[in-house]
Amino acid sequence: MLTFFGLTSAYRNSVFTQIHEIVFNGKGGYDFETVYNMPIWLRNFTFRKLQDHYEEVNSKNKSKPKRDSTTPSWVNDAKQAAKTGKQPSYTVKRP
């Protein structure tokens, strides 16, 4: 394949992947046409800034201790009591 007057398929793939990542991770701040028509230096800068931001967010999330469950303990206690047939030692009143 001659690439003298065009881009290689690998380069085109990397450009469109970069555009997709900016549009997708920009959370509505960018549309395809705007990113596609950006100067290359600005598109690369924007991509690097988004990449740095999400790497920082991921590293912060990894350092946080994970909770065992998002379900309140009283719900788990009630489920366990229902399985064993025992009544819980408390009652929950609804408003």
Structure confidence at residue 54 (pLDDT): 92
89 vs 26, which has greater pLDDT? Answer: 26
Q: What is the per-residue burial (b if ≥16 Cβ within 10 Å, else e) of 68-95?
A: eeeeeeeeeeeeeeeeeeeeeeeeeeee
85 vs 17, which has greater pLDDT? Answer: 17
pTM here is 0.59
Once rounded to an integer, what is the mean pLDDT over residues 31-37?
A: 94
- For the stretch 36-91, pLDDT in tens is 999 999 999 999 999 999 999 999 888 877 666 666 666 666 677 677 766 656 66
